[in-house]
Structure 1
């Protein structure tokens, strides 16, 4: 029987269409939850909330016996937890959706938002700021100003001057109190950008690395507000001869001593995080930043568990992420080999399970106990997750004290070293926007690097080479790879060996539309030492690099983990309030002390997260045991080509040379080396043809800012800038 046109009207939607509809629903729900959460912060500062909404919410949550913290958990904590779960579901559906449609939507969105994503501020105290970042920053500052104005207007309208107290003193005390309340809004957002595995970052197209600058901005705002909060109270106490109040620790009210300790911890982190101190004394910054633990604890003791619910969402989600990272870092991973390049950079090659997938420019955090037991440093993954399914590689430049110690440790080992090197890792953490490098979002790509900044581009070029050779891509529209111009600047010719890493072990780059312009600004007359390679003996207790929840982990498992942890925390809190706190509470003299109640709540928070995450980790470790053993039984592949010292001859100023005698003919044909001068970036960028040109920069801050200034100058509208440099 022939199918009539009317017969298809009542058909069920296809699977891709249903997935797209579910994904759009999740995205809409996430937007509604976030906007609703922000609106509750706005309403918190109004008379409507305090006189009408708060009593009704208290009655609604009284049956669960959560006490005064019940309404705040419902309004300020639960929506964020649900938002996290919804984000996990959205990302899970995004992986299974129609990739071709996603690519088209991404290209349309990128074209429509091109003007907003262009840098508008370059080189200032905020760094490189795009139009959309500046717009959201101004809106956020306007939100803070509104909340503070509404708070103090409400407080001043019902202020009562105590005997012997002046009006300005009462107003100063109320103003200082509300500075702390507004600071709590910034404090809850402070933890979101540093939760590396959180789905909230990729939900808004951010990576853990690119969002660090938002953490820095929020950190400055938080410390300004909290410092002003403390100074207001000190000024009032000094003017009323009550400085002894600074040494009080109230039983059932706000405690002063914990607040002072929290402020001192924050000031220590703030001072050591200043750019000049952070860059010159990174270890001091790194260790001082662990004061966030006493900062959170003393802050909770200062305000009590009820007010602490304002910042609980950020602390809770960060603790979940930190617990998963800690569980992953407990394993010693299998280091297959290490290679010292002529430039004295070190390449580490790890074994990984084949099911571990990561995008180009992913970040891996590395810890080497023999160098430092506490320090973790981020490095860009240079290998391709699909070209090299059993191996994961990073290149570590010899720049700071930690990297110098690592270089000395590896270089002192003999090539036939019959031993192992203890290494732990966290990650890899994939960026949210890397698929734009691989698809048809850009007609051409211009990659500009300085020194070790070439490492993000190694993984991109390897992935593009795999797409071209295999004919497969994350989506059908990505099968056509863009033209690539790589502009790399090195100090010495020894660093040219980094170009050898562009060629994957399992194939060449002959099919790519690739052109490399390498600039050597300094030249050495002496010969560089040859490449040194050290292979390590496999050990049974070393595990290949795997995701924290095993090979079959997904965003759904993260959603279940967070929901279960929060449910356990709520259950423990309800038991505490109903059977332990509630029977004791009466008048203020016999009320349950805030400090004990707060510490018990923090303990329950830690126990619920550690218990659920630990159980999930042990289950995933057991389920992934077979794949890990299979990966351990394979002697990990080492690089098929060892970079040899290149271009020993000394170049004259401005003289250009073609690379000769390279192992791969295709690399030789596309590479030009320039000696004695730096590239004219303005001329090169403005001369690029194409409707949509992606400009990726990685290297020294000054160079990245110069490229951003060129792209934002308005001389060419087809240049779309993105920085891939580390921001800390």
Structure 2
């Protein structure tokens, strides 16, 4: 047993489920390391002289079958193991998990501390820097070993060709091979529903950083690859090679189109362009479809096996997202705030469980049919089993149009068509928060929204089980104007929940930086936000799990089954269609046709298996669950006592009408005209294990990370939540 802060604990025997999870996690790590070792050995003579002949004979399908086994199967195996791990993990005991994660967090604290803060890479922890250095070392080794082997057996093929020109051609070719390692991992971080992200504790928005790093590396290498080939062709009077599409070998035109698509995505993704012209970036990034297509046509099916794992994982995820987004979800109500923010409350299936700080992607066809925007979920699936909430602040054209559309509806009724994708979250985020002695949450403006879900979830866990140790909470929120203080109203959900929140050891320090303290008249004139209730349509459905309550198991089954179908189709193509043609010495099967057939089989296998699994679960959910949404009749959402304390006249009357709110009101302080002294506040917090979460502008995140990485702050464990990608 242990006390409220995790002291004086005795060792408990791990459960069978915990042992199974640990075994699967170890197995996944071992297979992934083996996959990296295969990449490291691939350019050596050991592979080409010893491994390759034996493996080609073992598979029976030549180089393509061999590379499927070495480069594709290990990644998909890890993916399926991760699905089973997460399925078992979701039912784990919160108290045991919090103790385990707390102990592990203490040992791993040094690795999670920021080591680089203000630089081109953003905020980088030691474990992230180690990952980047390992990747760079692997790339350098891979390329160096390949070039060394190629130079040792180089031969002059063209009349008048010089040695340096032959070396340039070999160096250019192997740059393309090295770039395939980056592309092999490029799409994995942006597969939002992937099991690989929560396996390592990543959310969909946090993993975008790794996609950006890999994208920069890939485009630098591929650009050098293209320029080296152009230089080689120009120096050997073969510039016409740029216009050739070979029938039975690499197509130069396809490679050039691949590079052009990549450069367009790369240029529009630069921070200056992306932030000023987000729609250009958004639509240009859909060129990834042509990038993958032309890349496959350029390198052929055998070399395409290098990048197939990431493409396969992303294709399954994209197909599931498409199927989920076709439904129109039931919007129950909206809460309009004076700061031009709106809280959207959706009906959700009770079996849908998600972690705090989860992300939901929202599309409103009446505002824009094509645009999807991510928002942090502010509700708790434990405290609010039937509703899911997000907050949209007016920061751009899309959000302003949405606010206007909702505010124009009458309070008593109306309808707004909405589609969603997600929610996406890391595994067991709530148990990670429970592992801290104290939890400090620093927000800037709308950055408070992730912490609303954290506070609600911890309030529920603290009230549901007295043995669960809840950390001391400090919420430091910085706003530009006093109108934004109504964001604190969102601490209390529409459906209630104040008793659970008021039971927490919570202190709120709110700072208004651009205004002085308002007069009594201004407080009296402050009006609370209003609510809008929506009328249900028969076709509306609650937000639900795309693959049902056993979604992780179904996802593992979908990936393994679709890959098996793909292998069967490719094997049949090879055995009964391509080999008879290639067996004739006068004919060689066209490179492009073979590649297109493989891509067609990939699409058919993924779409067919994923669609069948989706329809099966949809029918089962309709038969087993009551899919009727709640009636819109009910109590009016209540205002937070925080706003009532600082803005309403007659504080005594409000306190009497809300006696449960007194602890929360007394814990709140509002400061006007200055910013918080974060360093003084952080260093004054007691506890060996203090979590610090920051959400807001990049400058604020860097300030918090700088404090947490300093020597005196050895007990502070930093985590950033940012949507500035």
- Give TM-score scaled by structure 1 length: 0.92
Find the counterpart in structure 2 of residue 365 from structure 1.
Answer: 361
Change beyond 3 A, Cα 1:636–1:77: farther
CA distance in 2, matches of 1:375, 1:286: 8
Equivalence map 1:96-111=2 (5 Å): 96-97=91-92, 99-111=94-106
Find the counterpart in structure 2 of residue 452 from structure 1.
Answer: 446
Find the counterpart in structure 1 of residue 107 from structure 2.
Answer: 112
Find the counterpart in structure 2 of residue 264 from structure 1.
Answer: 260
Q: 1:701 aligns with which of 693, 698, 708?
A: 698
CA distance in 2, matches of 1:172, 1:611: 45
Query: Matched residue of 2:148: which SS?
Result: helix
Does the alignment pair 1:299 with 2:295?
yes
| Structure 1 residue 199, shift from structure 2 partner | 1.2
Change beyond 3 A, Cα 1:659–1:594: farther
Equivalence map 1:285-684=2 (5 Å): 285-417=281-413, 419-432=414-427, 434-439=429-434, 441-471=435-465, 479-504=468-493, 505-508=496-499, 509-523=501-515, 530-550=528-548, 552-586=549-583, 590-626=587-623, 629-635=626-632, 640-642=637-639, 661=654, 664-684=661-681
CA distance in 1, matches of 2:379, 2:91: 25
Does the alignment pair 1:170 with 2:162?
no
Find the counterpart in structure 2 of residue 50 from structure 1.
Answer: 48
| Structure 1 residue 90, shift from structure 2 partner | 1.8
CA distance in 1, matches of 2:487, 2:652: 13
| Structure 1 residue 282, shift from structure 2 partner | 0.9
Give per-residue Cα distances to partners, 1:237-288, cap 9 Å, x unaligned.
Answer: 1111211110100001000111111110000110011111111111111111
CA distance in 1, matches of 2:710, 2:254: 50
CA distance in 2, matches of 1:424, 1:207: 21
Change beyond 3 A, Cα 1:580–1:15: farther
CA distance in 2, matches of 1:469, 1:321: 36
| Structure 1 residue 134, shift from structure 2 partner | 0.8
Query: Matched residue of 2:536: which SS?
Result: coil
CA distance in 1, matches of 2:191, 2:420: 16
Contact 1:77/1:309, CA 8 A, preserved across alignment: yes
Query: Matched residue of 2:514: which SS?
Result: coil
- Report which stretch shifted further, 284-293 or 589-598: 589-598
CA distance in 2, matches of 1:457, 1:357: 18
Find the counterpart in structure 1 of residue 8 from structure 2.
Answer: none
- Give TM-score scaled by structure 2 length: 0.93
| Structure 1 residue 589, shift from structure 2 partner | 5.6
CA distance in 2, matches of 1:289, 1:638: 45
Query: Matched residue of 2:123: which SS?
Result: strand
Query: Matched residue of 1:715: which SS?
Result: helix
Contact 1:468/1:481, CA 8 A, preserved across alignment: yes
Change beyond 3 A, Cα 1:160–1:493: same
CA distance in 2, matches of 1:351, 1:626: 18
Find the counterpart in structure 2 of residue 5 from structure 1.
Answer: none
CA distance in 1, matches of 2:277, 2:527: 31
CA distance in 2, matches of 1:100, 1:436: 8
Contact 1:196/1:429, CA 8 A, preserved across alignment: yes
Give per-residue Cα distances to partners, 1:113-155, cap 9 Å, x unaligned.
Answer: 1111100100100000011111121111111101110000000
Change beyond 3 A, Cα 1:354–1:422: same
- Report which stretch shifted further, 618-627 or 162-171: 618-627
Query: Matched residue of 2:189: which SS?
Result: coil
| Structure 1 residue 29, shift from structure 2 partner | 1.4
Q: How many residues align?
A: 697
CA distance in 2, matches of 1:159, 1:660: 89
Change beyond 3 A, Cα 1:708–1:727: same
| Structure 1 residue 634, shift from structure 2 partner | 4.0
Give per-residue Cα distances to partners, 1:170-207, cap 9 Å, x unaligned.
Answer: 10111011111010011010111111111111222222
Find the counterpart in structure 1 of residue 146 from structure 2.
Answer: 151
Query: Matched residue of 1:672: which SS?
Result: strand
CA distance in 2, matches of 1:556, 1:665: 45
Find the counterpart in structure 2 of residue 655 from structure 1.
Answer: none
Does the alignment pair 1:137 with 2:132?
yes
Equivalence map 1:78-97=2 (5 Å): 78-97=73-92
Contact 1:660/1:668, CA 8 A, preserved across alignment: no
Alignment gaps of 5+ in structure 1: 1-13, 651-657
CA distance in 1, matches of 2:437, 2:506: 13
| Structure 1 residue 210, shift from structure 2 partner | 1.2
CA distance in 2, matches of 1:293, 1:274: 20
What's the RMSD between the two structures over aligned residues? 2.2
CA distance in 2, matches of 1:237, 1:103: 61
Contact 2:508/2:669, CA 8 A, preserved across alignment: yes
Give per-residue Cα distances to partners, 1:69-104, cap 9 Å, x unaligned.
Answer: 111111111111111111112222323445544333
Change beyond 3 A, Cα 1:260–1:514: same
Contact 1:543/1:628, CA 8 A, preserved across alignment: no
Change beyond 3 A, Cα 1:603–1:529: farther
Query: Matched residue of 1:250: which SS?
Result: coil
Give per-residue Cα distances to partners, 1:479-534, cap 9 Å, x unaligned.
Answer: 12111111101111111111121124133332211111111112398756652322
| Structure 1 residue 462, shift from structure 2 partner | 0.7
CA distance in 2, matches of 1:420, 1:426: 20
CA distance in 2, matches of 1:444, 1:536: 40
